[in-house]
Structure 1
Amino acid sequence: MTDLFTAALDQHKAGNLMQAERLYRTVLAENPDHPFANNNLAILLRVQRRWEEAVACYRRALNANPEDAHLYNNLTCVLSDMGQDAQAAKVGMLAVSLRPDYAEAWFNLGNIFRNLHATDAARGAYHRAIRLKPDMGEAHSNLGDLHKSAAELTRAMECYRTALRLQPHLPQPYVNLGEVLKEQGRVTEAITLLQHGLEQHPHLPVLHSNLLFALHYSPHVPPEVIFRAHRHWGERHAAPLAPAVAPSFSNDRDPDRRLRIGYVSPDFCGHAVSCFLEPLLRGHDRGAVEIFCYPTSRRRDETTARFQAITGHWFPLTGLLDEEAVERIRADGIDILVDVAGHTCDCRPLIFARRAAPVQVSWLGYPDGTGMAAMDYRLTDAIADPPGVTDRWHMEKLVRLEDGFLCFRPLRDTGFSPDLPAHRNGHVTFGSFNNNAKISAEVVAVWAALLQRVPDARLVLKSRSFADPTTHSRYSALFTAQGIAADRFELMLHTPDQGDHLRAYDGIDIALDPFPYNGTTTSCEALWMGVPVVTLQGGHHVARVTSSILHRCGLDDLVAADTNSYIDIAAGLAADRDRLAALRRGLRARMRNSPLCDPYGFARQVEQAYRRIWRTWAEGPATGPGDPVRPDMDMHA
């Protein structure tokens, strides 16, 4: 029996997993409670995602050896894989009670507490793991994640740098350190760091996606370079996964029938994206389309419950491999699959790379194309993407919606103050509640010039990252270096309650849009709360979104062509308090009566676009534009 187990272990170490599984099962046929054979077989089963069988193996092993902390720790990992984190935490506590010096068990317990949102317990578990094993880079990295989530960016950065020093091969610290640098407003450093990380880990899609996202924040990277970077992402990560032979979709090609539309998103929750996704789903004509929602994140809140209530079909893809998700979507017979994430957090672009539906569309959640040949279309409009200008920067065919590509509904129904703050304060208050990563030194210079032009004005910035003392000090220094006294600007912290966040606009007279990365949700929220927004129109989508929003509300005169006119418009508005007061009183009604807040009208134009692109596929050849035939390629890339 010992020789047979040794042979199984040798096959396991050599990577011959089928032979190893066969030999382990032979051992267990003679001795069902063999603890080591059960443990090792469970490890193989976990890799194959055969979790229930793995749990059964661990239970048998523990029956034979009930004080083995390693067995409890391994069982903890499988239970967590299954989403049973509460049970996993109990098992993990048994592991560390049996062996308090077991660093790996404390690390795993920290991960489980984190999943359970028990932040203090997770932090304590990671610290215990580090005390026991100071060179555990993974624990330093995950501890950094907790600091990052709490906006303790400097401490997070220290953790990630420590992790990379201890274990330079770890990819995750590169991913998250790049995010921290971006959140501190150090965008050039973030891009450099992510590029270096990509050199070390060229086949890690999420690292590459984070680099793509970061490029949009820099005023120094032209759109053609950003496009080439996206196309490179598609060639490296997506193209090798395209089916060698076009999938044979059995969808009924009737061009006029009810369509099955699938939406893939991590943001079916209280997220900025849901302010625009929810109106579309509410406005959809259920006689024309049947809606399927595919969440890719486990985040849930009251907004999630609203989405579930208005959705016909709800199928989370969390816990599924990309291949399994594709099978799920194909089994649902989806006609048009819509990606609402692009290269943002918890995105799943490689589902689309594998061609999950006959027609695949990108919309909303990301300010650019995907870089994938497998993505057929992108919904936008003629202001955000001028015809003949931005088409060349997309792999997708651009579908321009006549009344704009956005429809807005605030997360919270909050009243606004019709009284102009300037009348109360005796001075005009400019404001921007955008992510501070969008506020580059170049933006600060323009805003400082505006404050010098309007010498009695104040500026209020509001961003989550200002909770980090280093970031707060950095932005204060940027303004004081431009000659702006500290009493003329305020750096406000993040407001967790959405109502409180919106009511903060009660103190703002004029909103300033950053550039080249415009606001989207922030621009709509400001207008909703009666605050006009001044924007600088750039050359590509990310720099033209607010222009599109303002056009829908008849406020094109707030769109500037260059920084000088940006300052002129904002200063002119500050000088005309009668107009400011009239705008404040009338902006919400103006929005409500515009295409920007017409969910049914917006849904009709989206459905018409879906119908047109569906007809193109339905009336095309059996391997039409949605099903390109690919040459043979290595399918295990």
Structure 2
Amino acid sequence: MSTQDNSLAENYYQQAIEQWKSRDQKQALQFFKKAVRAKPSNAHYWYALAGTYHIQNKFRAARFCFEKSLNLNPNQDEIKIFLCEICYLLTDYKSVAYYAGQVDLSKIQNLEILYKVACSFKELGQLEKTGQVCSQILSLDDNFWQAKLLAAEILRIKGYSGEAKVLVLELIDQQPTVGKFWNELGINEVDLAHEDEALSAFSKAEQYVSGPEKLIIGSNYLFEFSSGLRTAKDILDAHLLWNKKYCKDQGGSFQSSKFNYLKSNDKKNIAYLSGDFKTHSVSYFIEGILENHSRDAFNIILLSNTQEDEKTKKFKELADIWIDLKLTNFETAAQIVKRLNIDILIELSGHTNGNKLNLLSSRLAPVQATYLGYFATTGLSTIDYWITDNVVHPAHTVELATETIFRLPRCYLAYTPPPQSPSIAESPVIKNGYITFGSFVASRKISDYSILLWSSILSEIPNSQLLIKNRSCVSPLYRSELIEKFSLCGISSQRINFNEAKLNLEDHLALYNKVDIALDTYPASGCTTTVEALWMGVPVLTRLGELMVSRNSASLLHALNLQNWIAETDEEYIDKGIKFTQSIEQLALLRQGMRERFMQSELYDSRGLTLHLEDFYLKALQEKLSANKEVRF
């Protein structure tokens, strides 16, 4: 480049500086652009242009220019720090982590940027790094509450709910009107199986938040409320109230003129909406359905509200259309979905974490249904069907719902086991000389009711042991609380064993080889853990209730023709728990043949389940377009 060009570029740059000093950012931007065009090899010109874009919140342009400057001069740590902030605002968390790794974080004093780095590590599942950055922030300013709240959340995710609760209570003591604190307290109380305390915390949280946060906290409340011993009417009323407060059934009535229908011989558009297209319990039940859908008859659309991981790639491959709704607001998401001309929309989350249930308060498809991910009504009149089966919802069910309950003519679930499943070992009682009961369900399900039932069984079987495994088992506070409850029931701590959750699924499944009999929880029964136990040869004893929340395990046991492992009363549960330990030979034979029994059952038949679902989808659509209210077979 000639001296004249250099002079011209510098002249543009100086004019930009003058415009900047006079606060004319628009003109400054134009002169910075001219300087870059005149001398594109000058890193400083790119830096100045990037800074101008950054000030104007034009983050994509700022990132491009900062990266140009960095390529020309890699020794610019201040740019790497800027890029951490910009990439966070662009939700590119991997790039935040990359640039954070290029600098010495311990020398950064900007707490806001450090917090964004910590949040990015959390989004990527790098919990140790998240905690380290939070500690650094709090060492600089112990009053930076966002970092303290994030640190508490990380503790909880790692299983230390009791310890996290202490941190959250400190925050509440300092600022009692911050809804985020109360919501986090509620989630910790859920993990500790403190039902009343959790509901109280969520109610407090609702008072102090607004907008979309209210919907999330309201769903948190419903999830915990519906997991307890409630009447069908109480559960329905609570969901109707949520709908009235937050959704109001916008545009809920069905009008055929609102939809662009395909001809009867064309493919139908089926959409599944979920926050769990990742390594999650729901994924092991929906994967087989997506793999077996007829691609000649259906286009498969996946509407994702998922914090993605490695398994998400699998779901993207199974989708004809993949739509990421994670960062979209209600209005934008609704517009996106409406443009897809969906015929059948199936939501898979209910009121669980990551749901976008409020989307279905608008009529986005002729047929809308809820399936798989939740155990109660959604409360939305705009959802037409709740897909279950005859065990979960027998003909005489007392369950109440805003949806029409549709019962599939078979078990409503089918499980896709991991390819590298461990083999089934012999019954551990043969080697140990004593019975080992087990419960691998989430800590929230281990209610006081369950502990009373289990203690009654343990007290009648000398030397028997109970193995409890869940995420919270790493917490000394959680373990001591459980031990105290068992002690009050006369069961020594020496008979209660704990094992923390395994990150590796194969290791998790292998732990079932240490269990003779799995004891299901009540009133919230297992589901995924029940399937896993059966897959690994471990029979599951369940206590049947009236509502779906207490009947999932029963449906799974019916599918394997193990109805004798279902108890209808507390007394029957305890009696069977004792009886089944009295014949070690029968236990061993059952275990030995369980994998084959499973593979010959409906639980392993994703193709058969998919055919039934597809038949239902088409008939439901035909009925809806014919203005009939429900499917009739």
Q: Tell me the TM-score normalized by structure 2.
A: 0.85
Matches within 5 A, 1:111-130: 111-130=119-138
Residue 336 (structure 2) aligned to one of 328, 335, 349: 328
The alpha carbon displacement at 1:115 in A equals 3.0
2:268 is matched with which residue?
259
SS of 1:239's partner is coil
The alpha carbon displacement at 1:460 in A equals 1.4
The alpha carbon displacement at 1:388 in A equals 4.8
Q: Which moved more, 1:525-534 or 1:82-91?
A: 82-91
The alpha carbon displacement at 1:614 in A equals 0.7
The alpha carbon displacement at 1:155 in A equals 3.0
Residue 291 (structure 2) aligned to one of 272, 282, 290: 282
Q: Which moved more, 1:374-383 or 1:103-112?
A: 103-112
* 1:531 paired to 2:541: no
Larger radius of gyration: 2
The alpha carbon displacement at 1:259 in A equals 1.7
Residue 171 (structure 1) aligned to one of 172, 179, 185: 179
Return closer, same or farther for 1:282/1:98 CA change in 2, 3 Å cut-off. Answer: closer
The CA distance in 2 between the partners of 1:291 and 1:360, in whole Å, is 15
The CA distance in 2 between the partners of 1:327 and 1:78, in whole Å, is 28
1:360 is matched with which residue?
368
- Per-residue Cα deviation, 1:174-198 (whole angstroms, up to 9, x for no partner): 2222111111222221111111212
Return closer, same or farther for 1:592/1:37 CA change in 2, 3 Å cut-off. Answer: closer
Structure 2 unaligned residues grouped into runs of 5+? 1-18, 34-47, 71-75
* 1:397 paired to 2:421: no
The alpha carbon displacement at 1:250 in A equals 3.6
* 1:468 paired to 2:475: yes
Residue 192 (structure 2) aligned to one of 177, 184, 188: 184
- Per-residue Cα deviation, 1:305-328 (whole angstroms, up to 9, x for no partner): 333333333332233333333333
The alpha carbon displacement at 1:402 in A equals 1.0
The amino acid of 1:606's aligned partner reads L
State whether residues 252 and 382 of structure 2, in contact with CA within 8 Å, keep that contact through their aligned partners in structure 1: no
The alpha carbon displacement at 1:128 in A equals 2.7
* 1:427 paired to 2:434: yes
The CA distance in 2 between the partners of 1:263 and 1:245, in whole Å, is 20
- Per-residue Cα deviation, 1:279-300 (whole angstroms, up to 9, x for no partner): 2112222223221222211322
State whether residues 24 and 37 of structure 1, in contact with CA within 8 Å, keep that contact through their aligned partners in structure 2: yes
Matches within 5 A, 1:426-575: 426-575=433-582
The amino acid of 1:484's aligned partner reads I
- Per-residue Cα deviation, 1:18-67 (whole angstroms, up to 9, x for no partner): xxxxx97699789998999866642xx6xxxxx536768999999xxxxx
Return closer, same or farther for 1:456/1:237 CA change in 2, 3 Å cut-off. Answer: same
2:603 is matched with which residue?
596
The CA distance in 2 between the partners of 1:530 and 1:108, in whole Å, is 46
State whether residues 217 and 437 of structure 1, in contact with CA within 8 Å, keep that contact through their aligned partners in structure 2: no
The amino acid of 1:493's aligned partner reads E
The CA distance in 2 between the partners of 1:55 and 1:343, in whole Å, is 37
* 1:386 paired to 2:394: yes
The CA distance in 2 between the partners of 1:481 and 1:492, in whole Å, is 22
The CA distance in 2 between the partners of 1:618 and 1:464, in whole Å, is 47
Return closer, same or farther for 1:577/1:199 CA change in 2, 3 Å cut-off. Answer: same
The alpha carbon displacement at 1:474 in A equals 0.7
Residue 218 (structure 1) aligned to one of 208, 212, 228: 228
The alpha carbon displacement at 1:257 in A equals 4.1
SS of 1:462's partner is strand
The amino acid of 1:160's aligned partner reads V
Q: Which moved more, 1:417-426 or 1:556-565?
A: 417-426
SS of 1:478's partner is helix
Q: Tell me the TM-score normalized by structure 1.
A: 0.84
- Per-residue Cα deviation, 1:186-213 (whole angstroms, up to 9, x for no partner): 2221111111212333651111111111
Structure 1 unaligned residues grouped into runs of 5+? 9-22, 46-50, 63-67, 627-637
The CA distance in 2 between the partners of 1:104 and 1:262, in whole Å, is 39
Q: Which moved more, 1:533-542 or 1:584-593?
A: 584-593
State whether residues 278 and 306 of structure 2, in contact with CA within 8 Å, keep that contact through their aligned partners in structure 1: no
The CA distance in 2 between the partners of 1:170 and 1:247, in whole Å, is 45
The alpha carbon displacement at 1:254 in A equals 4.0
The alpha carbon displacement at 1:560 in A equals 0.9
Return closer, same or farther for 1:381/1:255 CA change in 2, 3 Å cut-off. Answer: farther
State whether residues 249 and 382 of structure 2, in contact with CA within 8 Å, keep that contact through their aligned partners in structure 1: no
SS of 1:389's partner is coil
Return closer, same or farther for 1:132/1:452 CA change in 2, 3 Å cut-off. Answer: same
The CA distance in 1 between the partners of 2:181 and 2:630, in whole Å, is 40
Matches within 5 A, 1:4-153: 41-42=56-57, 51-52=59-60, 76-88=84-96, 100-153=108-161
Return closer, same or farther for 1:399/1:346 CA change in 2, 3 Å cut-off. Answer: same
